[in-house]
Structure 1
């Protein structure tokens, strides 16, 4: 998506995008500060937590956040017009990828396990691969994985204990990266490499509709080295249903900006200083969660 207004409208279709705008408005910060590297990651993290699908009364929260978010289109445009927001929608910088592994062992070619087909039931449900490596983009010691661990968000912190050992992975600029910059891009990935969504788990939008398709990661790996969910992609694709003749898709559970590496294509692995938990720069503004402050509960 190249047009600022189109990006703003896409944010308004996503509960997470609307949650981001509601949190941004409540913060009282100017657009240029909202768009800054650290603040935008924390705002998106709080929004991701607010619209988590497993919280009590999720459906009512989702509807209310979407309703309230519609009045903030002008704010969305003013944020997206900031120079700092220019790279929210990609492309990936493959030379600045940080990884934090639960086993705290340095990643390597010998330990790397590529995604394969057929998918497990969990992969059909969660829309993620059990294999491969997940990284986040590191800029000035700031990365979405660090924010996700510090808050924490979803299941990102499960199995991790501070201090967090992390490594910088470097790949060539020529790597083949499928960019998820919105709900339509996620739908395209699923349509091009389809697998049937899990029938043994409740569908993530709780509709129980048949016909949900998810990516077959083994098939994706035949054509691509990585799949990157940009920050803009997260804010516009999360929990947005897209329907076509091929089926329907509903992106969820990725929680933060991140890249799934389907192949070992790294030319360098560099240990970084351990990440120590950090306090949120927005602490005090968002406790309790914004949805509680907004009277949605």
Structure 2
């Protein structure tokens, strides 16, 4: 079970805080007679994801830490927007662990994943997992949405989401629990032991909420400890999810009674 995202969770990370501040500005400028909740409901998943991915990228490789420090987190407009975004991302209509999921690349027959830890000492992601993305509008999915080019081939994985033993990463606490429940042996306890995860779970899904909130908390790891965004994202007791880059699912095992659709070619 995942933690319910709170507005305070968002404003306590660099990308979450800037995401909130950006939509607070948009609401003030464009909302007219809409309430905050109506304004957020009017936004497409594409729009929300685009802004989230931009905030992640500029946090890791740009100057967003400076921008985040200039946001007044006690401003009533920021507090209200943060709470409203947390509610919106927690709505069933914004669920991103849905069937079908899409896989970019030509795979005629699925082989069971063989999951292991990557060899690099700073690697957060698993090796050998089956990666899928969540479909959006107009044939786009969360992976292609984060890239400048579309893959030539895409496959669809259909399954019953309720039958999958999945860890949903919707918050900093969800990510921390996954790591502490599946710690690596030795000195590196900041990243999951993916081989152990694969023994206990079918999949790990990073939602848009988790993409924004599963990072070092500014209240615990001030940016002045490291002005380099990527190093800051790895500097708390648990490494941040920045390397995931977008909403996606890492499959440890194939779901029960799945369907792997015929290849679809983009035109």
Q: Into which bin does the TM-score normalised by the smaller protein fall?
A: 0.7 to 0.9
8 A contact 2:124–2:239 mirrored in 1: no
Residues 257, 66 of structure 1: CA spacing in aligned structure 2 closer, same or farther, 3 A cutoff?
farther
TM-superposed deviation, 1:262: 0.7
What residue ranges of structure 1 are gaps of 5+ in the alignment? 151-160, 198-209, 277-297
Q: Which consecutive unaligned segments of at least 5 residues does structure 2 have?
A: 32-38, 222-235
| Alignment match, 2:115 | 115
TM-score w.r.t. length of structure 1: 0.68
Matched position secondary structure for 1:260: strand
Q: Across the two proteins, how many residue pairs are aligned to each other?
A: 235
Structure 2 distance, partners of 1:21, 1:133, is: 32
Aligned to 1:147: 145
Greater fraction of residues in strand? 1
Whether 1:181 and 2:154 are equivalent positions in the alignment is no
The aligned residue for residue 46 of structure 2 is 38
Find the aligned partners of 1:69 and 1:268 in 2 and give their Cα distance.
48
Determine if contact 1:238/1:250 at 8 Å carries over to the other structure. yes
| Distance of 1:165 and 1:89 partners within structure 2 | 26
The counterpart of 1:98, out of the listed 91, 96, 102, is 102
Q: Give 1:282's aligned residue.
A: none
Matched, 1:23 2:22: yes
Q: Structure 1's 163 and 69: CA in aligned 2 closer, same or farther, altered over 3 A?
A: farther
Other structure's SS at 1:195 match: coil
**Aligned equivalents of 2:159 and 2:20: distance in 1?**
34
Change (3 A) 1:256 1:196: farther
Counterparts in 2 of 1:91 and 1:138: CA distance versus 1, 3 Å: closer
The equivalent residue for 1:229 is 206
Structure 1 stretches of 4+ with a deviation exceeding 6 A read none
TM-score, structure 2 length as denominator?
0.74
Equivalent position to 2:193, from 216, 221, 225: 216
2-side partners of 1:270 and 1:240: how far apart? Answer: 41
Q: Distance in 1 between matches of 2:7 and 2:48?
A: 15
Contact 1:225 1:263 in 2 (8 A): yes
Map of 1:125 onto structure 2 = 122
- Determine helix, strand or coil for the equivalent of 2:156: strand
Offset at 1:98? 1.0
User: Which deviates more from structure 2 when the two are superposed, residues 41-50 or residues 220-229?
Assistant: 41-50
- Pairwise CA RMSD of aligned residues? 3.1
Residue 291 of structure 1 corresponds to which residue in structure 2?
Answer: none
Deviates more, 1:71-80 or 1:13-22: 71-80
Pair 1:260–1:221, CA change in 2 (3 A): same
